[in-house]
Amino acid sequence: MTPPPPTAAPDADDPDPRPSGPLLGLRFWLLIAFAVVCIVGGLAVALLGPVWFPAS
């Protein structure tokens, strides 16, 4: 079997068809904020759950 022929290198003049967005965009920060809210909510349930809902 022979290896496939090398692919042609992209032209330097050819612009990128879709420029990449910012690395730390709005979606990233919304995800971080959601994670922080979930962690704080979990801590609140762990700390205040026994006070609010005592065992019968």
Question: Widest CA span of the chain, in angstroms?
Answer: 76
Entry pTM: 0.57
The total number of structural domains that make up the chain: 1
Residue 22 lies in a domain: no
What's the token pair of residue 11? 């032209």
Residue 31 within a domain: yes
At 10 the three-state DSSP class reads: coil
The predicted-structure confidence for 1-56, as pLDDT tens digits, reads as follows 788 877 766 666 666 667 777 778 999 999 999 999 999 999 999 999 999 888 87
**Per-position b or e across 1-11, b if 16+ CB within 10 A of its CB:** eeeeeeeeeee
Residue 38 lies in a domain: yes
Judge whether 37 lies within some domain: yes
Residue 4 lies in a domain: no
- Give the distance from CA 42 to its chain's centroid: 20
Q: Is residue 6 part of a domain?
A: no
Q: Let me know if residue 19 belongs to a domain.
A: no
In a domain, 40, yes or no: yes
Can you read off the two tokens belonging to residue 36? 């922080």
Q: Structural domain of residue 32, as residue ranges?
A: 27-51
